[in-house]
A and B are shown apart, each in its own frame.
Chain A
Amino acid sequence: MEAGSAVLFEIVSESGSRSQHPFDVRVETATIIRYTEVWQRAVLYIYRTQVFLEDPRIQEKFTLWKMTPHQEDLWQLIIRAAGEQLYDTLEGDDRTALNRLVLNFLISLLDHQLPGRPYESPLLSALAGMGVDLVHDVWVAPVMYTNKYSAILRVAKYLVLYQSQLETEENPTQGDGKPAPYTYYAPAE
């Protein structure tokens, strides 16, 4: 995959200051598998809780988190696109379209303004849910937990990178005919 150098710097920039080094995309295979599993847990948590939170009896009493209207729209589109089919049975454009919707949804989870309680964010609520020890009825110790944040943040950077790549491919030039800001130009040989 080609990526624009600008976006590689932007991904690792703190707010207001530009990073001196681009995002290093290299990662051990075992690490990315482990990190992806954390995102899988987050999405499954959101799915399970969303199903229950749609029950009016539960809505009356309990608000774990609340999707933004944009997230809600994407969620409904995903449910409609996926239908009752297993992902592995989807082919061609159907699979591509679903992948794109899911990517948009994951990006929207990262783009959640928090004017109120932080746990109104489905993703932060999911992270809290992963704070429960897998064996004992206790919360995990910090040293056992912070890798969840590492996983979410690392994969989030890949998602943003992938999103920018797709947007560049879909819209290679801006309205004024100039190249899109993140368009990558390979250096001349």
Chain B
Amino acid sequence: MDGIQYATGVVSNKFGSLEFNPWVQRTGWGEHFNGLSFSTIRQLASRDPEAKWPDMLEMLV
């Protein structure tokens, strides 16, 4: 599952399973990152300065 729009209202709970949560929709995150995959955002926000950089050209697809 890599579709960020699909998962706009889904969060993982403490057991690791997925559940719907309207809070995520209210944040507007899905809209803000529209077009970027979760893995790209995860790489962008990584705390590891040596972490692999995402291929941002996927934005152009």
Q: Do A and B belong to a common assembly?
A: yes
Count of interface residues, chain B, beta-carbon cutoff 8 Å: 37
Q: Knowing A61-B60, A137-B2, A137-B7 are in contact, say whether A132-B53 is a contact too (CB < 8 A).
A: no
Q: Which residues of B contact A125 (CB under 8 A)?
A: 32
Which of chain A's residues has its CB closest to B51's CB? Answer: A44
- Total interface residues on A, CB under 8 Å, equals 33
- Residue with the greatest number of chain A CB neighbours at <10 A, chosen from B1, B2, B27: B27
Contact with A131, one of B27, B53, B57 (Cβ below 8 angstroms): B27
Q: How far is the CA of A125 from the CA of B38 in the complex (A)?
A: 14
C-alpha spacing A180/B14, complex, angstroms: 50
* Shortest Cβ gap from B14 to chain A (Å): 8
Task: Mark interface residues in B1-15 (1 if CB within 8 Å of A CB, else 0).
Answer: 110000110111110
Residues of B within 8 A of A (CB): 1-2, 7-8, 10-14, 16, 18, 21, 23-24, 27-29, 32-33, 35, 37-39, 41-47, 49, 53-54, 56-57, 59-60
